[in-house]
């Protein structure tokens, strides 16, 4: 076997390996700007003035669970309701109020507040305007949030009561004991303070 033939054969082999690696990469890596089912998503949070107040990171934790990490750098000191909402559109100038374009809480059929899939632990913002929160939830996977219309991470102006209203309290609007319809939908967390978009699956 000549040296020239051997060299050509080696070049062909190297080329074939390179092509195979490119094909495998194209199959395994997600498209730019899109999270794969197993990928993490970083969500930047903006207030109604358009200022960046922090971010949230959602990433798979295994066994169908999701790890959520939130870092707030500039917000009003207080407890703030913290949720995933159903639509990935955060419009501060929406006709029905800031960020109402994000819809209601991310939830499965029949769920009420406190049990919504998108109900998250509250944020406690300290006097310096910062907050850190980390937890694991089994109520959704990251891929669930990248549906046809995306989702949104929402920080509310007020604290969330998680619909924990004892029956000894009677609603002034419904006249019924315990949480009324508004509380069962929102947790009475107040207006929408900051919002971050999660892209739709084709976003």
Helix extents (H) in the chain = 3-28, 142-145, 181-186
Determine the pLDDT at residue 183: 87
Q: Is 106 a domain residue?
A: yes
- Co-location of 123 and 147 in the same domain: yes
Confirm if 192 and 114 have CB atoms less than 8 A apart: no
Q: Is 35 a domain residue?
A: no
Determine the pLDDT at residue 33: 30
Alpha-carbon distance of 81 to 104, in angstroms, equals 13
Query: Which residues of the chain have a pLDDT value below 50?
Result: 3-8, 10-38, 203
The alpha carbon dihedral of 100, 102, 105, 109 has a sign of positive
83: domain CATH number is: 2.60.40.200
Determine the pLDDT at residue 24: 36
Determine the pLDDT at residue 202: 66
Determine the pLDDT at residue 107: 87
Whether the full predicted model's pTM is greater than 0.85, yes or no, is no
- pLDDT, one tens digit per residue, over 109-124 is 788 887 799 999 999 9
Q: Which helix (H) or strand (E) holds 84?
A: strand 82-85
Cross-strand partners of 170: 177
Q: Is 17 a domain residue?
A: yes
Q: Which domain holds residue 171?
A: 41-198
């Amino acid at each position: 076997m000549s040296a020239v033939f051997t060299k050509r054969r080696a070049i062909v082999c190297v080329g074939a390996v390179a092509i195979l690696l490119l094909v495998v990469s194209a199959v395994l890596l997600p498209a730019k700007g899109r999270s794969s089912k197993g990928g993490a998503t970083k969500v930047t949070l903006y207030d109604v003035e358009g200022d960046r107040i922090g971010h949230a990171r959602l990433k798979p934790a295994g066994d169908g669970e999701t790890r959520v990490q939130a870092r707030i750098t500039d917000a009003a000191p207080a407890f703030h309701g913290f949720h995933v909402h159903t639509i990935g559109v955060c419009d501060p100038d929406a006709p029905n109020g800031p960020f109402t374009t994000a819809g209601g809480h991310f939830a499965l059929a029949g769920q009420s507040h406190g049990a919504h899939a998108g109900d998250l632990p509250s944020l406690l913002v300290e006097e310096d305007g910062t907050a850190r929160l980390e937890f694991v939830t089994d109520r959704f996977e990251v891929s669930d949030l990248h549906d046809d219309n995306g989702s949104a991470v929402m920080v509310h102006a007020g604290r969330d009561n998680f619909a924990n209203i004892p029956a000894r309290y009677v609603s002034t609007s419904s006249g019924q004991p315990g949480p009324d319809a508004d509380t069962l939908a929102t947790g009475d967390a107040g207006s929408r303070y900051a919002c971050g978009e999660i892209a739709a699956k084709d976003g």
